[in-house]
Amino acid sequence: MDTASECRSRIRLLVATPLHHRIVTSSSTGEPLPPIAPPLADSAHQQVARGVLNGMAAGALWGLIFLIPLLLQGFNAWQLSAARYLVYGVVALGFLLPRRTHVLARVGRAEWLALLGLSLLGNIVYYVFLVLAVQWAGSAPSALIIGLIPVVVTLVGSRQHGAIGLSALLAPLALCMTGVAAVALHSLGEAGTANADTSLAERAAGLLCAAGALLCWSAYSIWNRRWLTRRPDISPWDWSLLTGVATGALALLLAIPAFGGAWLGLADDAGTAHSAAHSSAEWLRFWLITGTLAILASVVGNSFWNRASRQLPLTMIGQMIVFETVFALIYGFIYAGRWPDLLEWLATLSLVGGVLWCAHVHQRAGSHAH
């Protein structure tokens, strides 16, 4: 019979041994039973699924930005852009201040330079190029060119070591491109003569600006993912806040031409003098709407995007941007109080189907790898 001290020693050994390493015997035969399996790590299916959900959440919040011009039609694009990024910077700074010692200890000169570059590329310069492209070349050609972002990012990602071959992604990419083409075709049918008064040189410059926007956001997506991979000790939420602070600082420069003319009563081609006539109530509504959407789209939406960037391979993360287009269409239909027509249904289903198809390809590849 065991002594009391031996019993206590065996109990301590049993407690200290991990559950899946313990040898358990059958009460009837005395034979050892198979060990309990350790908890399984997240499978490739779960990681891709979570990445797609995070990308979808980011797109749903980013799509809200397209409602701002509809809700605030009396304000120009420069004011809407400056207001969004100023609020983004202020809110991000507010969230960051209580934890500044913990977060800033991880951020050095290289990180700040990268954050400024990312903010400039993915926010300020991208939006300026987009505005000029729409003004000079029209919305349909601009949407068609910028809609190539998933293709550019996927082509770059397919060249990385260990990435899925481009041949396996051609079919889902073609389906996404069908959706982009349907959106552009519908836009041409709705507003084909919107820019009939612009000269050939202005239209050519507009197309170049659209190409610039395409390159800016593609570079931002790739560069941002690489930094998130390089610094896993900085959470996606903290990286979003740091990006907001950098963007807010840059937005101060954009605010000078955006609001300076309105407050000084100066006229310009963007309609700044008209904006100066807004009442205090209209300015309050302006800041409430842009502020609310800036928090949802920039602060929270960017955090979801950073999570997706860590969970998905580069060959797939670029295609998540189509969710912004899909949700922007949905919000536009709700605002207009109508159902989508046949071509709009085709565009939406093609975009969503292409992304889900691409997710399935990556999940299958991950299963084979394991």
Pick from 184, 197, 183, 298: which is nearest to 243 by CA?
298
| pLDDT value for 26 | 43
Q: For residue 298, name the pLDDT band (cuts at 50, 70, 90).
A: confident
pLDDT score of 235:
87
* Residue carrying the six token digits 């991979």: 229
Closest CA to 11 of 2, 31, 30, 35: 2
Closest to 88 in 3D by CA, of 123, 64, 58, 59: 123
Q: Is residue 354 part of a domain?
A: yes
pLDDT band at 80 (very low <50, low <70, confident <90, very high): confident
Asked if residues 20 and 36 have their Cβ atoms less than 8 Å apart, the reply is yes
- The CB-side HSE value for 41 (13 A sphere, CA atoms) comes to 3
Q: Please check whether residue 336 lies inside any domain of the structure.
A: yes
Q: How many CB atoms sit inside 10 A of residue 252's CB?
A: 12
pLDDT, residue 333, reads: 81
Q: How far is residue 66's CA from residue 334's CA, in Å, rounded to a whole number?
A: 12
What proportion of the chain, given as a percentage, has pLDDT over 90?
Answer: 15
Residue 27 resides in a domain: no
Reduced to 3 states (helix: H, G, I; strand: E, B; else coil), residue 284 is helix
In a domain, 148, yes or no: yes
Least confident of 240-254, 291-305, 325-339: 325-339
Residue 176 in 3-state DSSP?
helix
% of the chain surpassing 70 pLDDT: 71
What is the pLDDT, as a whole number, of residue 27?
46
Its pTM surpasses 0.75: no
1 lies in a domain?
A: no
Task: Say what the pLDDT of residue 71 is.
Answer: 83
Q: How many domains does the chain have?
A: 1
* Mean pLDDT over the full length of the chain: 75
CA 244 to CA 248: how far, in whole Å? 6
CB-CB contact of 191 with 140 (8 Å):
yes
Q: Is residue 6 one of the residues assigned to a domain? A: no
pLDDT band at 21 (very low <50, low <70, confident <90, very high): very low
Report yes or no on 71 lying in a domain: yes
Q: Which amino acid is at 89?
A: G
- What's the rounded Cα separation, in Å, for the pair 74 and 79? 10
Q: How confident is the model at residue 342 (pLDDT cuts 50, 70, 90)?
A: confident
Tokens 């009939």, residue located: 196
Q: Is residue 35 part of a domain?
A: no
- Min mean pLDDT across 37-46, 128-137, 140-149, 265-274 is at 265-274
Residue 229 main-chain phi, psi, to 5 deg: -70, -35
Residue 2 backbone dihedrals phi, psi, to 5 degrees:
-70, 145
Task: Please say whether the beta carbons of 109 and 175 come within 8 A.
Answer: no
List the one residue out of 43, 55, 58, 49 whose CA is nearest residue 308: 55
Estimate to the nearest angstrom the gap between the alpha carbon of 187 and the chain centroid: 24
Q: What is the reported pLDDT for 245?
A: 94
When comparing pLDDT for 29 and 80, which is higher? 80
Query: Residue 229 is part of which domain span?
Result: 45-369
8: which residues sit within 8 A by CB, 6+ positions away?
none
Q: Does residue 330 carry a pLDDT above 50?
A: yes
